[in-house]
Amino acid sequence: MLKDYREYMTICARCSNCKFIPQYRISSYKYAYSCPSISRYLFHAYSGGGRLATALSMTDGRIEYSDNLLDIIYKCQMCGACDISCKYGMDLEVLQPLYEFRVKCIEDGQLHPVHMTVIEGLRKEDNMLQKPKAERGKWAEGMDIKNITEDKVDVYYHVGCRYSFDSELWPAVKAAVNLLKKAGVNFGIAGKDETCCGGRAYDLGYLGELTKYAENNVEMLRTAGVKTVVTSCSDCYHAFKVLYDKIGMKGNVEVLHITEYLDLLIKEGKLKPKKNITATVTYHDPCHLGRLGEPWIHWKGEIITEPSKRFHHEPPKTFRRGAYGVYESPRNLLKSIPGLKLVEMTRIKEYTWCCGAGGGVVDAYPDFNMWTANERLKEAKDTGAEALVTACPWCIRSFKDAINENGDTLKIFDVVELLEKSIQD
Amino acid sequence: MALKNRDAYKALEDVLGTEYISEEPAVLDSYAFQWGAELFTDTPFLPRSGAIVLPHKTEEVQAIVKICNKYKVRYKAISHGWGFYSALGLDENAIHIDMRRMNRIIEINEKSMYAVVEPYVSCAMLQAETLKKGLNVNMIGAGCNTCAMPLTAHQGTGSGGVSTSCGDRNCLAVEWVTPDGEIIKFGSLGSGNGWFCGDGPGPSLRGIIRGTQGVMGGLGIFTKAATKLYPWYGPPQPELEGASPYYRFKELPPNFDIHHPIFPSWDKLIEAAMKIAENELAMMIFRLPPPMLCEALTGSGDEGAELLAEIQQESNGRPGFLVIIAGSTVAEFNYRKKVLAQIMAETGGEFLSHLEKEDVKRMFLWSETRYSGGVREAFRAVGRFLGAIGDSAMFQTSTRLMLDCMELKKEFQKRGNIRADDGPDAIIGMIFENGHTGHAEQLIMCHPTGAGWRDLMEFTVECEKLAISKCYTAPVTVWGDDAHDRWGPHLCNYHLWLRKIKKTFDPNGVSEAAMYISAKE
């Protein structure tokens, strides 16, 4: 609950580090900022620290709900950049209270009208895109893939809402399927029976939907006897691996992103990139795969604030500071492709700049989504790369839409698409 | 609580557009939240201002100031807005001017070694660009997240001051919107000769607007200023490794080294520090007390506490400081190393073993170059700090005053309301311009809520009394009328002159002066 984070909200130093990438990592004036929200909307309330102050103000009964307050709460991608930048200096939580603030809004009936439409669609069609659930498995038609509801498989390949319904992005999941087959993996999908992971609903504050879909998915895996989940969607990866664990529902299922799994398959010699791809590319770290993809660390205890002693946690608390997200696997895949040159942007890994789609921004504030994506595209182009490669369908959609809008020539790929090109017979 | 004067609000909205002004309570509260607010309100919030405005250029700042003068609305400008000084004194008859849209580096002049910046350029942003040109900035001691302008971050002192001086000395030409709305360019800029000098050719007002502690937002708004830059002998784009919170140099840069010598006594520490400074050996001489040193060296508070136990065992009460030496050539570096060794031998100094580990050196060298003390050191352990902030006269005298304050602190620690597990020594010290001047502080840490703040304030006042009785000079925390009235009579009644300045430049009394001085008779 939000009030459980009161100590962290109080102890915020108001230093503004949450607005920048970790100060030690600032290597240019141009790309020093980390938070799209404060960068776009400017008032302090739109930063991580500003939102903590706002949450504290609400907890202490100083302010009441208003349209402007909801604007402050929801014009945020929940990308976690503020959390990482704060925690390299402080022992406090920034992102978790922001989740709780949104959960509180839902509990208090303070709903964003666009988010309500999305959630109604989710409740009806089991996806975040308001598409008919009957069409969910359409992407796999004619591919002869096992189905975990009927066949015995070792690995469940979860595609996710965006990849299921966004036909322009299907080449990436088809490429993943081809590579898994080529490597001889006994895997299956759920086809039309696949449902949303619930992660993006939680980003909007709908804890109940996360719990419901976690139950569905975990039950499906239990029934199928599957112990390994592989997904191409960073949001789904975050939900299965981190959020399900956070709410105590993950069990002992191993969750891997497709880039991690393919990296393993290459290391085991089951896949060998051979074909030359002569191109210079840059890699965009999706927030949910990188800093937010770090394993959940359970902690239950007390924050001790005896006046004569240092502030500390009993038992000691290990903070998630972003170091253990998935950063190397996608890069390893790119580096394994002959002829491909990887050049890095300024803001990478735990201090990456968001694509703009998270936290319901893609639905409620499409202009903010595009602004954020365009900021990233500028950074990508500054590297001299001809293509931006990433590992999340929400990021790819944001970048493709931004390019369609601005007429840019930068190409956008999923890592797996390039890998498949290099492995094709 | 919105801005009381609605005509003023409408006029501001007309100048800025609706997107860049807000009186939303949630927005106002986000600015009212400040560390140190507890000193005044017993809550983490100071009183809200009436509105927040976000100007983009000097002309907009001027228009805002003129509106404030017309409608008698007080105003206060902030850059990064860190600390109660940023919001104190505001209410529904005042506005907060957030300068974050004025965030441009106007010029980095390699030849004349200065940079011109707007108020929202941080030290880290500026340093990232100047290092590429072989130049370093004076990194403000509160951290590189603070403003690079040599006018807005209080004293502008930092850990590297021995080689990069401090705010009052680094301030060159300035563009200033006066309290009543005139745009004045002074120093060399005033005669159309660029930014290279603060005092001419052209009119000089540097003494009026800067001094040791600046005007703390109480005398108009500085919209552009030039700051001196200094040589940087390291790589133009430092190659780092590691993930948060353990960033470090991939390799220790050539001709750089970092040590933490400890000494048999404070006298020997002062002797060694001054010898190092006067021999122009150091890029940095920074006295961090052991608890803060350990916070700086670690990724979490728990790690910091473990390291503190280890370091306290080794140092066994012997005080020390951090020293970075760097050379532009191998020969220069070797010479400096030799002289440092000689000084260590003369003063009984020994290098703390933890800082002699190669990976620790790589981390600490970069963190001190970039960060210069800040959140980790001052806030992570407890949440809040303040204390006796010494003068900026001589390192020797400042440190001795702080040693006297340390005795006082022991008494306050016995009360149990402020942090005591860090011991009585929380003396921060630094030297400017190779020993020309210096500064020291004695910090107290306390939790944001509770009786700690009251003890902390009482301690500060007691330290002031001590300083007056022993004829030390004024600390750099003489903020507001009461403090000036206490110190003025001991220092040639300077406060009477300061009030005349305030009255002359701010005839309508609208430039909020809770942290500066009012024009009262």
Reduced to 3 states (helix: H, G, I; strand: E, B; else coil), residue A255 is strand
For residue A177, give how far its alpha carbon lies from the nearest alpha carbon of chain B (Å). Answer: 33
Give the bridge partners for B240, in sequence order. Answer: B249
Q: What distance in Å separates residue B506's CA from the closest CA in chain A?
A: 28
Q: Which of residues 278-337 of A touch B (CB under 8 A)?
A: 305, 307-313, 316, 318-319, 321-323
Give the separation between CA B86 and CA B150, rounded to whole angstroms.
16
Contacts of B121 in chain A (CB under 8 A): 29
* A57 located within any domain: yes
The answer as to whether B439 is a domain residue is yes
Q: What is the pTM of this model?
A: 0.96
Cβ distance of A307 and B81 shorter than 8 Å: no
Q: What percent of chain B has pLDDT over 70?
A: 100
Q: Are residues B227 and B244 in the same domain?
A: no
Cα dihedral: A362, A367, A370, A374 (round 10): -150
Count contacts between A and B (CB, < 8 Å): 212
Is B1 inside a domain boundary?
A: no
End-of-domain residue from the set B306, B341, B376? B376
CB contact (8 A) between residue B45 and residue A57: yes
Give the tens place of pLDDT for each residue, A282-321. 999 999 999 999 999 999 999 988 888 888 899 999 999 9
A29 touching B (Cβ < 8 Å): yes
Q: Domain boundary at A110, A142, A175, which? A: A110
- CATH assignment of the domain containing B274: 3.40.462.40
- Kindly determine whether residue A50 and residue B30, on different chains, have CB atoms separated by under 8 Å: yes
B43 lies in the same domain as B114: no
Query: Do A145 and A244 reside in the same domain of the chain?
Result: yes
pLDDT at residue A206, as a whole number: 98
Q: Do A309 and B419 make contact, defined as CB atoms within 8 angstroms? A: yes
**What mean pLDDT comes out for the span A108-133?**
97
Partner-chain residue, chosen from A16, A25, A90, that has the shortest CB–CB distance to B379: A90
pLDDT in tens, A379-418: 999 999 999 999 999 999 999 999 999 999 999 999 999 9
Tell me, yes or no, whether A8 and A51 share the same domain.
yes
Chain B residue numbers with beta carbons less than 8 Å from the beta carbon of A63 are: 25-26, 29
For residue A383, the distance in angstroms to the closest alpha carbon of chain B comes to: 15
d(CA A354, CA A358): 8
pLDDT number for residue B1: 65
Amino acid B319: pLDDT: 97
Min Cα separation A17/chain B (Å): 6
> In this structure, are B250 and B219 located in the same domain?
no
Same domain, B216 and B281: no
B244 with B359, same domain: the answer is yes
Q: Which helix (H) or strand (E) holds B351?
A: strand B350-351
CB contact under 8 A, A45 and B421: no
What confidence category does residue A328 fall into, taking pLDDT thresholds of 50, 70 and 90? very high
Number of domains in chain A: 2
Of chain B, the percentage scoring pLDDT greater than 90 comes to 78
Residues B118 and B86 in one domain: no
From B181, B212, B231, give the residue that closes a domain.
B231
Query: Measured between alpha carbons, how far is A84 from B245 in angstroms, rounded to an integer?
Result: 9
Q: Judge if B420 and B325 occupy the same domain.
A: no
pLDDT value of position B374: 84
Last residue of a domain, one of B231, B255, B280: B231
Mean pLDDT of chain B: 93
Whether B180 maps to a domain, the answer reads yes
Q: Which residues contact A346 (CB under 8 A, 6 or more apart)?
A: A27, A28, A30, A31, A379, A382
Q: Judged by CB atoms within 8 Å, which residues 424-463 of B form the interface with A?
A: 445-452
Residue A387 domain-assigned?
no
CA dist., res. B203 & res. A52, Å (int): 45
Question: Within the 56-95 window of chain A, which residues sit less than 8 Å (CB to CB) from chain B?
Answer: 56-58, 60, 62-64, 66, 68-69, 72, 84, 87-91
In tens, the pLDDT along A62-104 reads: 999 999 999 999 999 999 999 999 999 999 999 999 999 999 9
| Residue A177 and residue A75 share a domain | no
* Interface probe with B: pick from A6, A72, A308, most Cβ of B within 10 Å: A308
Which of 304-333 (B) contact A at CB < 8 A? 305
| Residue A403 resides in a domain | no
A20 and A58 together in one domain: yes
A116 Cβ under 8 Å from any chain B Cβ: no
Q: Is B299 on the interface with A (CB under 8 A)?
A: yes
**In A, which residues are within 8 Å of B379 by CB distance?**
11, 13, 15, 89-90
CA-nearest residue of chain B to A30?
B125
The verdict on B63 touching A (C-beta cutoff 8 Å) is no
The string of DSSP codes covering A293-353 is GSPP-----EEE--TTS--EEES------STTSS-HHHHHHHHHSTTEEE---SS-GGGPP
For β-strands B261-262 and B240-241, DSSP reports them as unpaired
Domain that holds residue A164: 113-267
Q: What is the CATH number of the domain that holds A244?
A: 3.40.50
Q: Strands B21-22 and A411-414: what pairing? A: unpaired
Name which of B244, B367, B371 to mutate to probe chain A: the one with the most chain A Cβ atoms within 10 A of its Cβ. Answer: B244
Residues A259 and A232 in one domain: yes
Q: Does B143 touch chain A (CB under 8 A)?
A: yes
Q: Does B247 share its domain with B370?
A: yes
- pLDDT tens per residue across span A236-271: 999 999 999 999 999 899 999 999 999 999 999 999
Same domain, A250 and A134: yes
Q: For residues A93 and A20, state if they share a domain.
A: yes
Which residues 154-173 on chain A approach chain B with CB closer than 8 angstroms? none
Q: Is B247 on the interface with A (CB under 8 A)?
A: yes
User: Looking at the predicted structure, is the pLDDT value of residue A337 above 70?
Assistant: yes
- Which of A23, A68, A311 minimises the CB distance to B301? A311
Cβ-contact B221, B230 below 8 angstroms: no
> What pLDDT does residue B144 have?
93
- Structural domain containing residue B83: 6-98
* pLDDT mean over A163-187: 98
CB nearest B80 (choices: A16, A57, A68)? A16
Residue of B145, B241, B419, B443 to mutate for A, most A C-beta atoms under 10 A: B145
Taking residues B108-116, report their average pLDDT. Answer: 97
Residue to test with chain B: of A43, A51, A346, most B Cβ within 10 A? A43
Residue of B nearest to A319 (CA): B300
Cβ-based contacts of A323 with chain B (< 8 Å):
243-244, 246
Residue with tokens 């303070």: A110
Q: Which residue of B has its CA nearest to A53?
A: B30
Summarised one tens digit per residue, pLDDT across range B170-214 is: 999 999 999 999 999 999 999 999 999 999 887 789 888 988 788
CB contact under 8 A, B421 and A308: yes
Q: Which pLDDT tens digit goes with each residue over B387-399?
A: 777 877 899 999 9
Question: Which two three-digit tokens encode residue A387?
Answer: 């293509």
Q: Write down the pLDDT at residue A187.
A: 98
Chain B contact set for A29 (CB, 8 A): 105, 121, 125-126, 128-129
CATH number assigned to the domain comprising residue B137: 3.30.465.10
pLDDT at B58: 98
pLDDT in tens, B432-472: 999 989 999 988 888 776 788 888 888 888 998 899 999 88
Q: Which is more confident, A229 or B202?
A: A229
Regarding whether B146 and B77 lie in a shared domain, the answer is no
Nearest to A23 among B26, B371, B421 (CB): B371
Any A CB within 8 A of B152 CB: no
Residue B266 domain-assigned (yes or no): yes
Q: Are residues A75 and A135 in the same domain?
A: no
* CB pair distance less than 8 Å for A26 and B128: yes
CB B139 within 8 A of CB B372: yes
Residue pair B412/B418 in contact (Cβ under 8 Å)? The answer is yes
B53 occurs within a structural domain: yes
Same domain, A227 and A188: yes
Domain match, A53 and A156 both: no
Of the residues A267, A299, A329, the one at which a domain ends: A267
Q: Are residues B191 and B112 in the same domain?
A: yes
Same structural domain, B11 and B55: yes
User: Is B489 in the same domain as B465?
Assistant: no
Place of tokens 């006067």: B278
- pLDDT value, residue A52: 98
Rounded to an integer, what distance in angstroms lies between the CA atom of residue A389 and that of residue A414? 6
Same domain, A140 and A243: yes
pLDDT tens per residue across span B41-53? 989 999 999 999 9
Query: Which residues are CB-contacts of A123 (< 8 A; sequence separation ≥ 6)?
Result: A209
User: Mean per-residue pLDDT for A4-28?
Assistant: 95
* Contact across the interface for A53 and B22, Cβ inside 8 Å: no
Q: Which residues contact B493 (CB under 8 A, 6 or more apart)?
A: none
Distance CA B224, CA B226 (A): 7
**H-helix segments, B348-451:** 358-370, 375-378, 395-413
CATH of residue B36's domain is 3.30.43.10
Q: Residues A98, A130: one domain?
A: no
Q: Please tell me the predicted confidence (pLDDT) of residue B112.
A: 96
Chain segment B7-49, per-residue pLDDT in tens: 999 999 999 999 999 999 999 999 999 988 988 998 999 999 9
Query: Partners of B479 in the beta sheet?
Result: none
Distance from CA of A64 to the nearest CA of B (A): 8
pLDDT tens, B491-513?
999 999 999 999 999 999 999 99
* pLDDT, tens digit (0-9, with 9 covering 90-100), for B223-239: 999 999 999 999 999 99
Number of domains in chain B: 5
A375 is a domain residue: no
Which of the listed residues A90, A110, A130 is the one where a domain comes to its end? A110
The number of C-alpha atoms within 13 Å of A186 and in the hemisphere containing its C-beta is: 6
> Mind telling me how many Å the CA of B47 is from chain A's nearest CA?
11
| Residue A311 confidence (pLDDT) | 84
- Give the residue among B197, B265, B260 at the shortest CA–CA distance from B228: B197
Residue A97: CA atoms inside 13 Å, Cβ hemisphere, count? 28
Does A42 reside within a domain?
Answer: yes
- Report, as an integer, the average pLDDT of B148-161: 88
